Amino acid sequence: MLIIGIAGGTGSGKTTVVNQIIKQLPNDEVCVISQDSYYKATDNLSYEQRTKINFDHPRAIDFDLLIKHLKELKKGKTVHQPIYSFVTHNRTKDSLKTHPRKVVIVEGILIFNSEALRDLFDIKIFVHAETDERLIRRLKRDVAERGRDVNEVLNRYQNTLKPMHQQFIEPTKNFADIIIPNDRHNTVAIDIVRSVINERL
């Protein structure tokens, strides 16, 4: 099993890179695990309290469960990924049955912040995009998909996202084996990643 970690700031284009990689692989050989599924359960908090959680801080992530699931997949076991709701800021009662595959891609903004998790990655990729580009993408997504209003997104960006990015995400670029600048569709970098995957497989 080949485990690939793809990190980068919010709105950097991680999902685009993931899709470009898996496009060239047979469906039954690859699965994608999102860090977003592994936000900690917050059943003990009221909705009001949950809205105040800093979701861009590493302590919001259940790294232990994510690491446990990856280790189980490596052993050939099936796992049940949590399903997280950004509307309620909590895990739902459902889960996603995930089978072991030849290639497992883990993507998320904070996945390089855990040394134990980093050690499980065979290839570490960081997707870089300019700050204004990331803000525009985040704004469009949160308004369209997560029911946020523009002021709420901008306030969150200024007060939380930007400082957290500078403190916890940008520095983890140093752990990457490959940095993909995503201001354009970087076909060369994607081709290199595909070549490495094919070689390892």
Write the pLDDT tens digit of every residue in 16-30.
889 888 887 887 899
Lowest mean pLDDT among 59-63, 138-142, 170-174: 138-142
Q: How far apart are the first and last CA of the chain?
A: 8
User: Chain-centre distance of CA 82, in angstroms?
Assistant: 14
Residue-range domains of the chain with CATH: 2-194 (3.40.50.300)
Residue 135: closest CA among 163, 162, 103: 162
pLDDT for res 107: 97
197 contact partners, CB below 8 Å, separation of at least 6 = 2, 4, 21, 25, 103, 123
Residue with tokens 């009001």: 48
Task: Give pTM, 2 decimals.
Answer: 0.88
Looking at per-residue pLDDT, the higher value among 71 and 53 belongs to 71
What phi and psi values does residue 57 have, to the nearest 5 degrees?
A: -105, 140
Could you tell me where the beta strands, DSSP code E, fall in 48-89? Answer: 79-85
Lowest mean pLDDT among 57-66, 70-79, 138-147: 138-147
pLDDT for res 183: 55
Strand-pair partners of 30: 103
pLDDT digits (tens, 9 = 90+) for 82-136: 999 888 888 999 999 999 999 999 999 999 999 999 999 999 999 987 777 777 8
pLDDT for res 118: 97
pLDDT digits (tens, 9 = 90+) for 143-200: 877 767 788 778 877 878 888 989 999 999 999 999 988 756 667 888 888 888 888 7
